[in-house]
Amino acid sequence: MVKEIDRYTYRVTWSDEDGEHVGLCAEFPSLSWLDKNPEKALAGIRKLVGACVKDMVSNDEPVPEPISARSFSGKFMVRVPPETHRMLAIQAAESGVSLNRLVASKLS
């Protein structure tokens, strides 16, 4: 069964290098579609993703799950240099918040 391509994460951006809009899909990072018209770039990448999904299904290949359908815990690990860790801990202490809250606010 072909997955619904409307659930994938699409983006259209301008490419100075190509002089056109480029349609992208986060779940298929190797695919793109160029067009002078942004709406046509979006339509093109959606059509390309649809063809790719159809081909993957017919070849019994795993089809990427849409990001929108994935569950996220809200936790992830990030490594920083010890000096950065120290500076963030100082900022958190001076602000009267936890290190976690400080970093979360900087990321948002």
Main-chain phi, psi angles of 70, to 5 degrees: -80, 150
> Could you tell me the residue range of the domain that residue 34 belongs to?
5-68
- Say what the pLDDT of residue 1 is: 38
DSSP line for 27-61: T-TT-EEEESSHHHHHHHHHHHHHHHHHHHHHTTP
Ranges of residues in the chain with a pLDDT under 70 are 1-3
Kindly report the CATH number assigned to the domain that includes residue 36. Answer: 3.30.160
pTM of the model: 0.75
Per the structure, the count of domains in the chain is 2
Q: Find all residues with CB under 8 Å of 15, minimum gap 6, and list them.
A: 21, 22, 34
- Same domain (yes/no): 17, 64: yes
